[in-house]
Each structure stands twice: as structure tokens, then as C-alpha cells.
């Protein structure tokens, strides 16, 4: 390889290895509950698997909405191959968590999340989104798991922080089955 006057190579791989920037994935769902752990084991003794919000969205579209790969990829504004790669990574993390007793934490990812009415981004592009349940879960109603009472969802307040007017039990979002 030719060298410069100082004896260093004229081309350095360390400086020029960048690659194409990651395309932001469109996510329309924010989980109300962002952490799962095996019962009876203190959190400090558990290893974690982190599921990004785009992985959660891929699972939601494929498994709950029953969309095929092409439709789901289109909804997330990514290619079908990328969608399949994200879905496979999510399934692998969930399997490891179940088999090896790991906690599952849901956060982050290179995403764009529009408001639930379909307008504008909630966050500025270029920043990683890592939040806790903020009541943005895409539900219109909170339901009591005990008596079935339904109450209109208050945006920004997780359903679990709303008490049932009849039996005073924390409510759940409609999507929580």
C-alpha cells in the first residue's frame, strides 16, 4: 500500500468506515407497560433483554394485526427484508427471556412516532426515543379487568393509574387482553 511522506498509509479504514445511516422506523404504538420480569426473583438478580420500540411494533403488526410482511413493512416505512430482520430479532430476544428467565425492558430505537391522530412527530428526528409508559398506548378506553367497566382514556395518563369508578381497581387499556 502506498504511504504518505510521514510513512502512514494514505487511506485509513478507521476514518472512512461509516455506512449508510439507519432509516427511522415509523411506530404508531407505545406500550403502556414497558417492563416484564419473572415473578419471585428480585430485579437486581435478573439479566435484561432490551426490546426496542420498532421490535415491539413489528411484533404487534405481524402477530396481533395479522398483517403480512409487505403490509407491515409498508406501515413502518421500511423494506420487507428489514421488517423480517427486526421481527426475527424480537422473537429471538423474547425466546431468550422466556427460556433463560430474563427480564424484558422495552425502550429506545431509531424511530419516528407520530401523534395518535396521525399528525407530526412526537420527537425530533435524530434523537433516540427512550421513555417510560406515558399513556400514549393507542387506546381509546380503559377497561376494568374485574368488572368490565369502561372509561374514556385520558391522553398522557396510563390506564393503570386510573381507578375503576365501581370497584377501585386499576384499569387496563383495551389492547391489554
101 and 157 together in one domain: no
Please write the tens of the pLDDT for every residue from 52-103: 999 999 999 999 999 999 999 999 989 999 999 999 999 999 999 999 999 9
87 and 157 together in one domain: no
The residue segments making up the domain with residue 61 are: 22-114
State the total domains in the chain. Answer: 2
Cell of 61: 403488526
139 in a structural domain: yes
Task: Indicate if the pLDDT at residue 138 is higher than 90.
Answer: no
Considering only residues 177 and 13, tell me which one the structure prediction assigns the higher pLDDT. 13
CA separation for the pair 108, 153 (Å, rounded): 24
93 and 144 together in one domain: no
Task: Determine what percent of the chain is predicted with pLDDT higher than 70.
Answer: 73
Work out the widest C-alpha separation in the chain, in whole angstroms: 82
Helix, strand, or coil (residue 48) = strand
| Phi, psi dihedrals of residue 4, rounded to the nearest 5° | -80, 180
Please write the tens of the pLDDT for every residue from 8-28: 655 555 555 567 777 788 888
107 and 66 together in one domain: yes
**8 Å CB contact between 104 and 36:** yes
152 and 79 together in one domain: no
- Residue 77: give its domain's CATH number: 1.10.10
Amino acid at each position: 500500500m502506498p504511504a504518505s511522506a510521514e510513512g502512514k498509509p494514505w487511506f485509513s479504514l478507521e476514518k472512512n468506515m461509516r455506512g449508510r445511516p439507519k432509516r427511522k422506523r415509523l411506530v404508531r404504538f407505545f406500550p403502556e407497560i414497558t417492563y416484564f420480569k419473572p415473578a419471585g426473583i428480585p430485579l437486581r438478580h435478573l439479566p435484561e433483554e432490551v426490546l426496542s420500540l420498532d421490535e415491539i411494533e413489528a411484533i404487534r403488526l405481524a402477530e396481533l394485526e395479522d398483517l403480512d410482511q409487505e403490509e407491515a413493512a409498508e406501515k413502518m416505512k421500511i423494506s420487507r427484508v428489514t421488517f423480517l430482520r427486526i421481527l426475527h430479532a424480537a422473537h429471538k430476544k423474547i425466546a431468550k427471556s422466556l427460556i433463560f428467565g430474563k427480564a424484558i425492558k422495552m425502550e429506545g430505537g431509531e424511530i419516528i412516532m407520530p401523534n395518535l391522530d396521525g399528525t407530526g412527530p412526537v420527537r425530533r428526528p435524530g434523537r433516540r426515543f427512550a421513555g417510560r409508559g406515558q399513556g400514549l398506548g393507542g387506546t381509546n378506553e380503559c377497561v376494568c379487568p374485574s368488572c368490565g367497566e369502561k372509561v374514556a382514556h385520558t391522553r398522557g395518563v396510563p390506564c393503570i393509574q386510573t381507578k375503576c369508578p365501581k370497584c377501585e381497581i386499576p384499569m387496563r387499556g383495551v389492547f391489554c387482553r
